[in-house]
Amino acid sequence: MKNTILLAACAALLATSPALAHGPHEHGAARLNVAVDGTTVSIDLESPLANALPFEHTPSTPAQREAVQNMAATLHRADKIFILSVAAQCRLKKVTLQSAALPADLLSVGTSQQPAKLEYADHAGHAAEDAHADLDASFIFECAKPDALNGMDVALFSSWPALHELRVQILSPTGQHAAELNAKAHTLKW
């Protein structure tokens, strides 16, 4: 009973502290977890917002909101970022974007036509100007010929020039692999 309570307390603490929950918050670096399970490829990207945007706080101007929407639009076209072996015939099925500093409606698809809203005051408390914030993105691909899947090119560095190092863990039918990618070496093989 005591252990349960302690665990719950820790979980609550971690949930309010992204840096603790997700490992170190280091500008220029991000983590990528790739899991291949049958026909499904799950990709989780965890990055300081600073790698994707010029700020890490809740957007407060139309230009900042537009920057968030542009970033989200790029990630929603994840089949242009995570280029899986062509012969495996993989299709992007789902994209989920989350950040404590960013309103969810700016991160979903097709929000750019909506008029800018002015009701973000309640989000401002989450991220002061000098606070840090992360982006958590997850992507699901389904592959028709998973046997032909043996690698992935990551085209994120051209969209995110502030990103210099991507630390990758891969769990695939051939085992567990680790890799570090950068703007010059961005292809994974497994």
Coil/strand/helix, residue 130:
coil
Q: How many Å separate Cα 48 from the centre of its chain?
A: 9
Contact 45, 30 (CB under 8 A): yes
Q: Which two tokens stand for residue 139?
A: 């992507």
* 85-105: b (≥16 Cβ within 10 Å) or e: beebebebeebebebbbbbee
Q: Which is nearer to Zn ion, 46 or 56 (CB)?
A: 56
Q: By C-beta, is 50 or 84 nearer to Zn ion?
A: 50
Q: Which is nearer to Zn ion, 69 or 99 (CB)?
A: 99
* Shortest Å, Cβ 14 to Zn ion: 18
- Min. distance of Cβ 58 from Zn ion in angstroms? 14
| CB 105 to Zn ion: min, Å | 23
Residue closer to Zn ion by CB (options 27, 177) is: 27
| Residues of the shown chain interacting with Zn ion in the complex, contacts defined by CB under 5 A | 48, 50, 56, 132
With CB atoms as reference, the residue minimizing the distance to Zn ion is 132
